[in-house]
Amino acid sequence: MSYLYYVLIFLFGSVIGSFLNVIILRLRSGQVCRPEKKESIIHGRSHCLKCGKTLAWYDLVPVVSFLWLSGKCRSCKEKISWQYPLVEIAAGLSFVLIFYSNYELRITNYGYELSVFSMIHDSLFMIQLLSHWFIISCLIAIFVYDLRHYIIPDIILFPAIVVSFLWRVFEVLLAPSGVEGGLGHFFPYLLSALGASAFFLAIILITRGKGMGLGDAKLTFLMGLLLGWPNILAALFLAFFIGATVGVGLIFWGGKNMKSQIPFGPFLIAATTFVLFFGEKVWGCYSGLLGF
C-alpha cells in the first residue's frame, strides 16, 4: 500500500489534534469557556494566550508552525506550550495506527489485499474507522485535560461512550454472513464495561472517594466497551502498574507524598490505547505469567 495514504492520514489526524488543543484549553468545568471570558470552540479566532494577538493561518499549521517559530509566539516571543505539538503528533500517529490495524484486519478477513477505494465502500470498515478515530480523539483530549485540571469532563467522555456503544451495535447488525457476530459477540463488551465500572465504584465506596473519582469509574465503562474480555483485565493491570510506578517515582524524585493528588485517568487511557493496539500480545504475557 502506498505510504502516501499514511502521510495524508497523519496530516488529517494532526489537524484534528490542533482542534483538540482548542477544546482542551477552552473547556472548563463542563462549559466551553476560559476563566476570564467565554469562548466558543467553533467560533472565534485562535490567539496567543499571553499577548492576545490573533494568530495568522501560517501560525496554525500543526507541528510545522511550532518548529518554524522555535516554540515562541511570533508577536510577544513568549514560549508556546509543548502541549500543542505533542497533542497534534499523538493524534496523527493514533489515526495512522488505527487505520493500519483496521486495514490489516480486512486483509486477514478477506484473504487478499484490498485497495483503499474498495474499503471505502465497505460500510462496516468505514463505521469502525470513523468511530475509532472519534473515540481516540476523545481519549487524547481527556488525557491532557485530566492532567491539567484533575477532572474527566463528561462533555467529552459521554459522546465517546455513546459512539463506542453504537459501534458495537452496528458491528452486530452489519457483520457479513458467516462472520462471527451476534449477541454472543456484543455481550462480552457490555459485561466488561459494567464489571470494570462496578469494580471502580466499589473502590470509591471503600475509600470514600479518596482513592478514585466517579470520572474514573465512567472512563472504565468506556474501556470495557472498547476492549472487551479479557483485554479489559490486561488494561486495568497495566494502568495500576503504570500508576504505581509513576507514583513511587514522584514521591522519591518529584516532591510528592502519599497524600498528593495524582490523576488516574491518564494511566487508564495510556493502558487502554496500548492494549487497543497490542491487546493480544499483552494478554499473552499476562496469561503466561499467571499460568492461564
Quote the cell numbers at residue 161: 461512550
**pLDDT tops 60 at residue 199:** yes
Q: In Å, how far from its chain's centre is CA 283?
A: 20
**pLDDT tops 70 at residue 121:** no
Residue 229 lies in a domain: yes
Confidence of residue 19 (pLDDT cuts 50, 70, 90): very high
Residue 137 lies in a domain: no
Confidence of residue 168 (pLDDT cuts 50, 70, 90): confident
The verdict on 231 and 163 lying in the same domain is: yes
Residue 140 lies in a domain: no
Helix axes 83-110, 123-149, angle to 10 degrees: 150
Last residue of a domain, one of 73, 102, 121: 121
Containing domain of residue 60, as a range? 1-121
Confidence of residue 285 (pLDDT cuts 50, 70, 90): low
Residue 42 lies in a domain: yes
Confidence of residue 33 (pLDDT cuts 50, 70, 90): very low
How many C-alpha atoms does 27 have within 13 Å on its Cβ side?
A: 24
The helix/strand/coil state of 72 is strand
User: Among 124, 153, 119, which Cα is nearest to 9's?
Assistant: 119
User: Among 188, 277, 202, 279, which Cα is nearest to 237's?
Assistant: 279
The single residue listed with the C-alpha cell 469557556 is 33
Lowest mean pLDDT among 33-37, 241-245, 274-278: 33-37
Helix axes 231-253, 183-207, angle to 10 degrees: 30
Using alpha carbons, list the distances in angstroms from residue 163 to 38, 132, 170.
Answer: 28, 9, 10
How far apart, in whole angstroms, are the C-alpha atoms of residue 41 and residue 155?
13
What single letter denotes the amino acid at residue 132?
Answer: H
What local confidence, expressed as pLDDT, does residue 142 receive? 96
End-to-end CA distance of the chain: 38
Question: For the residues 150-167, what does the mean pLDDT come to?
Answer: 93
Residue 72 lies in a domain: yes
Residue 7 lies in a domain: yes
Residue 14 lies in a domain: yes
Are 193 and 164 in contact, with CB atoms under 8 Å apart?
Answer: no
Are 140 and 111 in contact, with CB atoms under 8 Å apart?
Answer: no
Q: Are strands 31-32 and 27-28 parallel, antiparallel or unpaired?
A: antiparallel
pTM here? 0.84
**Tell me: the pLDDT tens digits for 43-69?**
667 777 777 777 776 777 889 888 888
Confidence of residue 76 (pLDDT cuts 50, 70, 90): confident
